[in-house]
Amino acid sequence: MERTHYEPSPGNGRNNGRTHGHRTASAKRNGKRRVPVCPRCRENDQVIPILYGFPTHDAFLKADRGEVYLGGCEITPYSHYCKRDDREF
């Protein structure tokens, strides 16, 4: 496929400072984790997911860093935990 190459005639003064291909890079990401907001404080910066079942070594480390909340083997209807309010929801 060949496109018609348009060449502006020289000397018309319109060829100065063309912003060719300059686009604002949109940092739109769909892969961002969706964290629900806490029903109490309405924030999600302290909300971590609850991990059910027997925790793996990795899960223990994450729990130690406060990245996940170990829910144990008892499954509750809650899926997230707010560290600020110490509340599962």
- Give the residue with the Cβ less far from Zn ion, 39 or 53: 39
Q: Is 84 in the site for Zn ion (CB under 5 A)?
A: yes
By CB under 5 A, the count of residues binding Zn ion is 6
Q: Mark the segment that binds Zn ion (CB under 5 A) among 2-10, 12-20, 63-71, 74-82.
A: 74-82
In whole angstroms, how close is the CB of 63 to Zn ion at the nearest point? 18
Pairing between strand 80-82 and 69-72? unpaired
Q: What is the DSSP letter of 74?
A: S
Looking only at residues 34 through 53 of this chain, which bind Zn ion when binding is defined by CB under 5 A? 38, 40-41
Q: For residue 79, give Cα distances in angstroms to 66, 76, 87.
A: 15, 8, 11
Distance CA(5)–CA(64), nearest Å, equals: 61
Q: Mark the segment that binds Zn ion (CB under 5 A) among 10-18, 27-35, 55-63, 76-84.
A: 76-84
Q: Is 82 in the site for Zn ion (CB under 5 A)?
A: yes
